[in-house]
Structure 1
Amino acid sequence: MAGDRITSSEDLTDAYPNPASPASLFKEIDHVDENYATLIAASPFVVLATAGPEGLDCSPRGDAPGFVTVRDSKTLLLPDRRGNNRLDSFRNILSDNRIGMLFLIPGYGQTLRVNGCAELSCDPGLCAQFEAAGKRPASVMIIHVEKVFFQCSRAVVRAELWNPERQADKTSLPSAGTILRDITARNEEIATFDGQAYDAALPGRIKATLY
């Protein structure tokens, strides 16, 4: 160990001398079983992690519970709902198809982790299966499952994530318009941004472009 820095597996063992419990190891399986499928069907929100030549990406995905479909025990389907079209996750997948997923279920302490690899499809028949509000996704991610396991509830409990009394007061936080206004103000190459107008129009724009 170099000073207080952990730089090797041996350093990790010294810093964390208690081994993982048997349950934390055998809960990991290579497929989606009935219990894990139930959790996926109940989840309205998943965080998607990817990696590519330009770096890492962690992207939120959400819709009605069950928007991620279990096609079979080794395959998940994730429709791409409308977003900002940065396509960071997709560009990464084209060069490195490894992904990680973290499913959250409001009111439920455990989270679900899925690791695997992904491919992108714009097959019309497949996209039609995920039509919502009269709109079809531009593509569907086909996820080939390699590892599935649940994460214990300690982090959610510590954060009191589902406690309504812990919800932030939005007025105490910078709005999207404020963030954009201040960033553009520091860049002389970008025209002045009207953050107040952006905030006023945002709720209606989100409603009109949700799908």
Structure 2
Amino acid sequence: MTSRYAQLLFTPPVQLHQEHHGSRRNYAAMAEGPAVADRLTAAEAAFAAASTGFYLATTGSTGWPYVQHRGGPPGFLRALDERTLAFADFRGNKQYITTGNLDTDNRVSLLLMDHPARRRLKILGRARTADVSAWPAAAGPLVPDGYRAVPERIMLIDVEAYDWNCPQHIQPRFTPAELEEALGPVRERMASLEQENARLKERLAGAEEVDRAR
């Protein structure tokens, strides 16, 4: 956990609960440090680039929190630099709850999951939208070839803090593509064994015919 993440989330009420449950002393040290925004490293950038989905939390004008899933092919979410994340916000059901919430409160929280590796990355930031035409060419294609979704806008996240969370209670889950990659060698081995088994059966059948002919 970075010091900035602790500074933002360890509010006075949170600190009271930490004190009550005996964890305040350890967590107090985590908040020590300059009150400046975190910078993304190569690890966070790579994790984002490999993601095919994440959860995005906003707060509405009435104070109710809202969580929405955002997904796309690998690379739809990426770090433009050490302070900025961006993703292609594809056309959906036109409810615009997340977009409307950002009009009154631009603070967001992102939760990125890697179920096979049992890893998660939590990010705090401030979101702003931009027209698709504003996508920087240096960042590469906004939408990979063959992906049929239509980007409606670009969402830019000015990162404030992040935290790599522990793997406890994360159940390993795999996408069809991940399963195919993992099971490919097994299937090849099984096919090879089946072919070898068929050859052995043919030899055995031939030997039995020879025995009967004697």
Question: Normalising TM by the smaller chain, what interval?
Answer: 0.5 to 0.7
Contact 1:44 1:105 in 2 (8 A): no
Distance (Å, rounded) in 2 between the aligned partners of 1:73 and 1:8: 29
Are the counterparts in 2 of residues 130 and 136 from structure 1 also a CA contact under 8 Å?
A: no
Of the three residues 66, 69, 78, the one matched with 1:69 is 78
Distance 1:137 1:127 in 2: 15
Please tell me whether residue 84 in structure 1 is matched to residue 96 in structure 2.
no
**1:117–1:152 CA distance, 2 compared to 1 (3 A):** same
Change (3 A) 1:24 1:106: farther
Cα displacement string for residues 88-144 of structure 1 (whole angstroms, at most 9, x for unaligned residues): 111011111000000012302120011010101114242994235355411010110
Over the aligned positions, Cα root-mean-square deviation in angstroms equals 3.1
Aligned residue for 2:107? 98
Instruction: Using the aligned pairs only, state the percent identity.
Output: 24
SS of the equivalent of 1:107 reads: coil
Structure 1 spans left out of the alignment, 5+ residues: 1-6, 165-211
Q: Deviations over 1:55-105 (max 9, x none)?
A: 211001111223201100000111112321111111011111000000012
For 2:192, the equivalent position in structure 1 comes to none
Rounded Cα–Cα distance in structure 2 between residues aligned with 1:110 and 1:19: 26
- The structure with the larger Rg is 2
- Give the alignment partner of residue 161 of structure 2, picking from 147, 168, 182: 147
Within a 5 Å distance, the mapping from 1:13-24 to structure 2 comes to: 13-17=19-23, 19-20=25-26
> Quick check: which one's helix share is greater?
2
Call closer, same or farther: CA 1:12–1:135 in 2, change over 3 Å. closer
Out of 13, 16, 20, the position equivalent to 1:10 is 16
**Distance change (3 Å), C-alpha of 1:112 and 1:154:** same
How far residue 15 of structure 1 moved from its aligned partner, in angstroms, is 2.3
- CA shift at 1:25, angstroms? 6.7
Q: Tell me how far 1:18 sits from its aligned partner.
A: 6.5
Look up the equivalent residue of 1:73 and give its one-letter code: E
Q: Provide the residue aligned with 1:46 in structure 2.
A: 54
Q: In 1, Cα distance between the equivalents of 2:78 and 2:93?
A: 23
Partners of 2:108 and 2:124 within 8 A in 1: yes
Structure 1 residues 163 and 115 mapped into 2: Cα distance closer, same or farther (>3 Å)?
A: same
Structure 1 distance, partners of 2:15, 2:30, is 19
Q: State the Cα deviation string for residues 138-172 of structure 1 (Å, max 9, x = none).
A: 1010110110221110131xxx24279xxxxxxxx
The whole-number CA distance in structure 1 between the counterparts of 2:23 and 2:156 is 39
Q: Tell me whether 125-134 or 56-65 shows the greater mean CA deviation.
A: 125-134
Count of aligned positions: 154
Q: 2:142 aligns with which of 116, 121, 130?
A: 130
Larger RCO: 1 or 2 (CA < 8 Å, sep 6+): 2
